[in-house]
Amino acid sequence: MKLKSLGTAATAVALFATALTGTVATAGTAAAATKPDCSSALTNVKPKATVNLRSQPKTSSTALGTWGKGKKGGICFGGSKPVKGGSYTACGKTSNKWYFGGPNSTSKEGWVPATCLPI
């Protein structure tokens, strides 16, 4: 009987926390939004089109700002490979590759579709 009441209490606490924050914690949520190692960067990158800077490498994630077409910026280039994320069609191509970066003119940065960067 004690185990059943403990499980009920734990469920109640989880529901109460969800009601207060409006979110449900899931394993891997924090890791997915983690900024990559930017010890190596590629500078003077100019997107082929205006792109959204995303909180995670997928189009359904929050847009944090924009990076205008032809505006200089930088991207993390650790390992020289983009990160695999959600699939998208942008700048005339379909891919699931993303880079982390942003324009020089602002402090905003986020995930950008690799197909829109001349790399």
Amino acid identity at 31: A
- Return the pLDDT at 14: 39
Amino acid identity at 98: W
- Return the pLDDT at 81: 85
Domain ranges of the chain: 41-116
* Alpha-carbon gap, residue 78 to 69, rounded angstroms: 24
With a CB cutoff of 8 Å and minimum separation 6, the contacts of 111 are: 53, 54, 55, 56, 57, 58, 61, 83, 85, 98, 99, 100
The whole-model pTM stands at: 0.70
Model confidence pLDDT, tens digit, residues 57-93: 999 999 999 999 999 999 998 777 899 999 999 999 9
Model confidence pLDDT, tens digit, residues 14-69: 333 333 334 333 333 334 556 787 888 899 999 999 999 999 999 999 999 999 99
- Return the pLDDT at 12: 40
- Above 60 in pLDDT, residue 113? yes
